[in-house]
Amino acid sequence: MSGGTDRHEGLRARVEALLAGYDPRSTERPAFLRARFAAGLAWVHFPEGLGGLGLPASDQTYVDQLLATAGAPDNDPRRNGIGLGMAAPTLLAFGTEEQQRRFLEPLWTGEEVWCQLFSEPGAGSDLAALGTRAVRSGEDWVVNGQKVWTSSAHRARWAILVARTDPAVPKHAGLTYFVCDMSDPGVEVRPLRQMTGEAEFNEVFLTDVRIPDAQRVGAEGDGWRVATATLMSERVAIGGGAAPRESGMAGVVATTWREHPELRTPQLHARLVSLWVEAEVARLTGRRLQQKLAVGAPGPEGSAMKLSFARLAQQLSGLELELLGEDGLRYDDWTMVRPETVEFTGRGAGYRYLRAKGNSIEGGTSEILRNIVAERVLGLPPEPRVDKDIAWKDLPR
């Protein structure tokens, strides 16, 4: 498959062969997804044997469209967002072949959900300050510490984990990256209830958890570099989607506006139009970013997308509440649930308003993202870093 059109013809033939062997109407979802992975049609830019065909990532849309048109089941990326958006690209870039073969297929099909054991009390924005310790013991590492805000930990089979393996060197240098089995003895998951009433995330306590060295990702002490790559992918995953026009929050608010002509004032109209235009600019920038990603690696530009997504979600959900007045304040459901996905459009305006507050915190706060854009995109002078050359164990805590 050389030129674009030839490639598309080849891909169409592969999709047709898959559909002929696995009728989407009668094949169970996991079986269909496993067959799709084996055919190299999961993520076409991954290598052959790992769900892909080594093609440009831009060809994925073509495959997705063909399969969607045929009514084939998809792997709903929202149910395993951390696995698909963060663990998979990290394993592809830094994992051993054995790790890639073990983890990527059930990750892609959603049969194994992943979570991210990064944040700790006292190490969120300053992730490199984290204190969870991993100490070598024969062929294993013994891990002790506490993580927090761990989305989906209660559903996850695997976690990407960053732990401190050398406290005697500066904070960025002594970290190592692992895959942690969430079903191992010593892993305790406790729900954290959010202001929406839901408990999407958790505290995770790690007590003498034994992780085989074969589950180390990247070299010992190189965890910061691996984690940085994961975080770049995270911001793109959160902020860089290719949503259709008027999907998400912009669509919800536009619908409310159309349904309530009695609420209209010139001021509200001006605000709505300006937010709608911004949403459209963000959407099209996301498209451009995706095209950039198709020809290279995610860069700090993803941070700008995540920033604008968070700001827009908060402003649009605020405007929606204003439009709905008292009705908007009626909260739909306060039961503690452990949702699989964040359903912005499936819930009421009050839910959207409260949940959107987390958008400027999750995946890196807006303040930190502004620092990244300033330093790595605009080339402005970096923040002073007084702890750069001090051993982590000697830092004041």
Ligand X SMILES: Cc1cc2nc3c(=O)[nH]c(=O)nc-3n(C[C@H](O)[C@H](O)[C@H](O)COP(=O)(O)OP(=O)(O)OC[C@H]3O[C@@H](n4cnc5c(N)ncnc54)[C@H](O)[C@@H]3O)c2cc1C
14 versus 306: smaller Cβ distance to ligand X? 306
CB of 120 to ligand X, least distance (A): 8
Active site residue 367: no
Binding mask 160-199 for ligand X (x = CB under 6 A): ----------------------------------------
Residue with tokens 């300053």: 126
125 contacts ligand X (rule: CB under 6 A) = yes
The residue range among 6-14, 145-153, 178-186, 303-311 that interacts with ligand X, by the rule CB under 6 A, is: 145-153
CB of 1 to ligand X, least distance (A): 38
42 versus 148: smaller Cβ distance to ligand X? 148
> How many other CB atoms are found less than 10 A from the CB of residue 348?
16
CB of 259 to ligand X, least distance (A): 30
90 versus 150: smaller Cβ distance to ligand X? 150
116 contacts ligand X (rule: CB under 6 A) = yes
144 versus 371: smaller Cβ distance to ligand X? 371
224 contacts ligand X (rule: CB under 6 A) = no
CA distance 160 to 268: 44
Query: Cα torsion at 234, 155, 63, 307 (round to 10°)?
Result: -20
Query: How many positions of this chain bind ligand X (CB under 6 A)?
Result: 19
CB of 109 to ligand X, least distance (A): 21
CB of 185 to ligand X, least distance (A): 22
CB of 271 to ligand X, least distance (A): 25
101 versus 190: smaller Cβ distance to ligand X? 190
118 contacts ligand X (rule: CB under 6 A) = yes
90 contacts ligand X (rule: CB under 6 A) = no
228 contacts ligand X (rule: CB under 6 A) = no
Of 150, 165, 196, 317, the one binding ligand X (CB under 6 A) is 150
CA angle in degrees (0–180, nearest 5) for 372-377-378:
105
CB of 387 to ligand X, least distance (A): 12
Residues 238-297 that bind ligand X (CB under 6 A): none
Binding mask 340-379 for ligand X (x = CB under 6 A): ------------------x--xx-xx-xx--x--------
Give the end-to-end CA distance of the chain in Å, rounded to a whole number: 57
51 versus 145: smaller Cβ distance to ligand X? 145
151 contacts ligand X (rule: CB under 6 A) = yes
The residue range among 16-24, 144-152, 259-267, 300-308 that interacts with ligand X, by the rule CB under 6 A, is: 144-152
- 3-state SS record for the chain: CCCHHHHHHHHHHHHHHHHHHCCCCCCCHHHHHHHHHHCCCCCCCCCECCCECCCCCCHHHHHHHHHHHCCCCCCCHHHHHHHHHHHHHHHHHHCCHHHHHHHHHHHHHCCCCEEEECCECCECCCHHHCCCEEEEECCEEEEEEEECCCCCCCCCCEEEEEEECCCCCECCCCEEEEEEECCCCCEEEEEECCCCCCCCEEEEEEEEEEEEHHHEECCCCCHHHHHHHHHHHHHHHHHCCCCCCCCHHHHHHHHHHHHCHHHCCHHHHHHHHHHHHHHHHHHHHHHHHHHHHHHCCCCCHHHHHHHHHHHHHHHHHHHHHHHHCHHHHCCCCCCCCCCCCCCCCCCCHHHHHHHHHHHHCCCCCHHHHHHHHHHHHCCCCCCCCCCCCCEHHHCCC
Given 120, 200, 234, 362, the catalytic residue = 234
59 versus 362: smaller Cβ distance to ligand X? 362
**CB 159 within 8 Å of CB 188:** no
Helix axes 349-356, 248-259, angle to 10 degrees: 150
159 versus 349: smaller Cβ distance to ligand X? 159
Q: Give contact residues for ligand X (rule: CB under 6 A).
A: 115-116, 118-119, 124-125, 149-151, 201, 358, 361-362, 364-365, 367-368, 371, 383
- Catalogue the active-site residues: 234
